[in-house]
Amino acid sequence: MRALSLSPQEFRSLAYRVTDVATDLLSGLDARRTFSDSAGEDTTAAFDQPLPEAGVREAIVDDLELILRHVRAPTGRRVPYVLGSGEPIAALGDFYASVLNQNASTWRSAPAAATIERTVVGWLAQGIGCEGFDGVLTSGGSLSNLMALAMARESRAAANEEGGQPCFVYASEEIHMSIPKAVALLGIGRANLRLIPVRDDLRIDLAALEAAIASDEQAGRRGIAVIGSAGTIMTGAIDPLPELAEIARAHDLWFHVDGAYGALAAIAQPTKFEGLALADSISLDPHKWLYQPIDCSLLLHRDIEAARRAFSYSDEYVKPMTDDPIEGFVFFDQTPELTRRFRGLKIWLSVRYHGFDAFREAIGENLRQATLLAQLIESESSLELLAPVGLSTVCFRWTGSDAATLDDRNERILRRAIERGRVWLSNSKVHGVVGLRACFVNHRTTDDDVRAVVDEVLAAADETA
Ligand SMILES: Cc1ncc(COP(=O)(O)O)c(C=O)c1O
């Protein structure tokens, strides 16, 4: 038998068994713990195994069951951070994409994959009101943000050939951590990221932004970009995008919108995102609020030439060999990636299967569920909201003891609520106040799951008394 050989019968039988395990998981999801009670020593005992020189063949299916005991199950009550739910048709798309193993680098290397990716990019741009934007799928919002800043820098303070010059980036204090990472990686330097204060509603303070830009300009310091959030990570606040666009234009700054969390909600509620289409670039993450399996982000930009200026650099061996705009199309001059996964397939299949309106409805449900949770919190005397609920994130805390101990008590309540296993929430800090946080970007969440958040937090408060 040849090394790594697998008969069609073996593949079919294994694929059916994997499908059975996955189907059992999905059909029994609601009864599962959301947060497994795995300890570090359990996962080490389960998986820290010696390199298997000889294969175990179909016994690998047992591994799937073992893995299941140590997961954060994608139930409707898994609502920490900005964690999507993994729509199953899209998961089938990932499976098929891996079997096909296309290199979505160029049309020439993957005609269907390249065309499907360009199509879904167009669908999503149209869906959020940014028709005509171009873009590429990436591994995640962090990479999309890094790429956007690379484009911004190349367009305002070119660095690709001669190296970097001092330059400055403006964003609010509530900006996602991927931005300080990006400015560091690009050599801009974190000290040159001007973190502008926010107002009470956690949106960027425009007067403070203008003052910071003016002060840099007077000192001869070159700003390159202003970044707005279309849904901050902590509270979901949406910066005033039209005003930011105006300021960017007035000062010749690239305007990037980090919509990794929120921008896809423009499909359901476009009025919340007025000004989005004024951006030079937008990050938005189908693996968050389009319920796609990880990994899948989209970087949209209005000028493909700006992307090419930042990323194109080709060796002879990747020459497209034709001038045809379709057959000569390459993705690798719009992104740092050369070999690329067929990410478009999952979006293509799940949108075609369910129809776009089903996604609009699911996002609308998540927005409504955040409002429901906010109402439940406001009607509970021992709980209070910490921030306005503008999108699908609810930051809140338990207030039932004296003020001096509340931060510590809320941290303990959060830990206990998670340990109880039913809901998975994350922590929040709003205007310096420690609390808990639920973020609904999950198509499985029901109103009962929303009520479970309150029940579990109150039970955890009792148990930590
Ligand atoms: C606003 C925002 N930007 C960027 C990111 C980074 O995205 P990713 O985790 O896909 O790299 C996140 C992640 O939650 C986010 O909420």
Q: What would the pLDDT profile of 390-418 be if each residue is shown by its tens digit?
A: 999 999 999 999 888 999 999 999 999 99
What angle is formed at CA 343 by the lines to CA 6 and CA 74, rounded to 5 degrees? 85
Instruction: Tell how far the Cα of 427 is from the centroid of ligand 1, in angstroms.
Output: 16
What's the length of the chain? 465
Q: CA–CA separation, 394 vs 139, rounded Å? A: 27
pLDDT tens for each residue of 209-247? 999 999 999 999 999 999 999 999 999 999 999 999 999
- Structure tokens given for 400: 């039932």
Tokens 């367009």 belong to residue = 155
Which residue CA neighbors atom 4 of ligand 1 most closely?
A: 141
Q: Name the pTM for this structure.
A: 0.97
Give dist(CA 231, CA 439) in Å, integer.
11
- Beta strands at 223-229 and 168-172: parallel, antiparallel or unpaired: parallel
Q: Beta partners for 301? A: 134, 281
223-229 sheet: strands from edge to edge: 134-138, 297-301, 281-284, 254-259, 223-229, 168-172, 193-196
DSSP-derived letter for residue 343 is T
Name the band, by pLDDT with cuts 50, 70 and 90, for residue 288: very high
Ligand 1 within 6 A of 142 CB?
A: yes
**Residue spans per domain, the chain:** 92-354, 356-463
Start-to-end Cα distance in the chain: 64
Ligand 1 atom at shortest distance from the alpha carbon of 142: 11
Query: Of 139, 172, 233, 392, which is best to mutate to test ligand 1, by the most ligand atoms within 8 angstroms of its C-beta?
Result: 233
Beta carbon of 365 within 6 Å of any ligand 1 atom? no
Closest-CA residue to 300 (of 122, 60, 55): 122
Topology match between the domains 92-354 and 356-463: no
- Residue environment code for 109-118, b if the CB has 16+ CB neighbours within 10 A, otherwise e: bbeebbbbbb
Q: How confident is the model at residue 58 (pLDDT cuts 50, 70, 90)?
A: very high
Q: How far is the CA of 262 from the centre of ligand 1 (A)?
A: 10
Q: Which atom of ligand 1 is nearest to the CA of 259?
A: 1
Q: Is the CB of 257 under 6 A from ligand 1?
A: no
CA of 175 to the centre of ligand 1 (A): 10
Specify whether the CB–CB gap between 125 and 265 falls below 8 A.
no
Q: How far apart are CA 163 and CA 187, in angstroms?
A: 9
Question: Is there an atom of ligand 1 within 6 Å of 258 CB?
Answer: yes
* Summary mean pLDDT of the chain: 97
Nearest atom in ligand 1 to 145's CA: 4
CB of 286 closer than 6 angstroms to any ligand 1 atom? no
Look at domain 92-354 and name its CATH class: alpha beta
Query: Among 342, 291, 352, which residue's Cα sits nearest to residue 97?
Result: 342
Q: How confident is the model over 18-55, as pLDDT tens digits?
A: 999 999 999 999 999 999 999 999 999 999 999 999 99
So what's the pLDDT on residue 36? 95
Strand 254-259 vs strand 281-284: parallel, antiparallel, or unpaired?
parallel
- How many angstroms does the Cα of residue 82 sit away from the middle of ligand 1? 7
Please tell me if the CB atom of residue 260 comes closer than 6 angstroms to any atom of ligand 1: yes
What topology is assigned to 356-463 in CATH? Answer: Aspartate Aminotransferase, domain 1 (3.90.1150)
Give me ligand 1 centre to Cα 168, in Å: 22
CA distance 163 to 144: 22
Rounded Cα gap, residues 391 and 369, in angstroms:
10
Span from the CA of 229 to the centroid of ligand 1 (angstroms): 11
If you search the block for the tokens 């609390």, which residue do you land on?
A: 435
The β-bridge relationship of strands 223-229 and 433-439 is unpaired
